[in-house]
């Protein structure tokens, strides 16, 4: 809003403003590409793929709406149609996107916009609602059959999941230093991103 007000004030005062072709004006497609490039350096491929898919919806909507530059988004009213757009999208199975997926997709969009100093999308995110799916845990008899069918390695990692409550990436990134055997504690904490290998 401040950028748009400054632009209008400049035009009203006869000051030249950046044209549509100005290379320093943030084009949506270019900024998404830069954002995803940065995520590639610190996130695993699965997460980057998810970000790419979700921001693909945003790029599609921007193209259909004639939005080429980020400074065309000046307030929540500009993004409300994007929520409607997501709710009307269909999956490859010809079913509408689930409300939770709409929320997650808009949340990724908000993360991207915040990285570009556009902060008003968070207000819309706070208004989105969805129903949590009911999670049905395995019954004791089902767990018994599952462990009976597992080999030694499978029993080990299934026991880790079962006894810690960790999620997939938390298990995948667990290290020996996270296991405190003397007090039966498993630390779940963020890990620094891997360092890039440089030549020479």
Q: What is the pLDDT of residues 71-88, one digit of tens each?
A: 999 988 999 999 999 999
Q: Please tell me the total number of residues recorded for the chain in this structure.
A: 200
What distance in Å separates the CA atoms of residue 31 and residue 112, rounded to the nearest whole number?
A: 9
3-state DSSP call for residue 119?
coil
Q: What is the pLDDT of residue 1?
A: 62
pLDDT digits (tens, 9 = 90+) for 155-187: 999 999 999 999 888 898 888 888 887 888 888
Confidence of residue 11 (pLDDT cuts 50, 70, 90): low
Give the predicted TM-score (pTM) of the model: 0.67
Location of each CATH 1.10.150.130 domain in the chain: 2-127
DSSP 26-44: -BHHHHHHHHHHHHHHHS-
Residue with tokens 């830069």: 34
Q: 61 and 29 in contact (C-beta within 8 Å)?
A: no
Domain 2-127: which CATH class? Answer: mainly alpha
Q: Are strands 179-180 and 185-186 parallel, antiparallel or unpaired?
A: antiparallel
Give the alpha-carbon dihedral of 25, 27, 28, 34, to 10 degrees: -90
């Amino acid at each position: 809003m401040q950028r748009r007000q400054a632009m209008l004030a400049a035009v009203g005062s006869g000051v030249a403003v950046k044209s549509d072709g100005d290379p320093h004006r943030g084009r949506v497609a270019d900024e998404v590409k830069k954002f995803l490039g940065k995520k590639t350096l610190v996130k695993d491929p699965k997460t980057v793929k998810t970000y790419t898919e979700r921001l693909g919806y945003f790029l599609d909507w921007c193209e259909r709406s004639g939005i080429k530059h980020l400074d065309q988004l000046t307030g929540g009213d500009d993004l409300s149609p994007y929520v409607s757009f997501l709710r009307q999208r269909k999956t490859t199975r010809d079913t509408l996107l689930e409300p939770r997926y709409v929320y997650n997709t808009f949340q990724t969009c908000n993360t991207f916009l915040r990285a570009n100093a556009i902060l008003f999308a968070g207000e819309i995110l706070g208004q989105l609602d969805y129903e949590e799916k009911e999670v049905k845990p395995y019954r004791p008899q089902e767990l018994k059959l599952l462990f009976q069918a597992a080999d030694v390695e499978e029993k080990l990692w299934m026991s880790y999941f079962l006894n810690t409550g960790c999620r997939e990436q938390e298990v995948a990134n667990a290290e020996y230093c996270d296991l405190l055997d003397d007090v039966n504690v498993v630390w779940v904490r963020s890990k620094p991103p891997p360092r890039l290998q440089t030549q020479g």
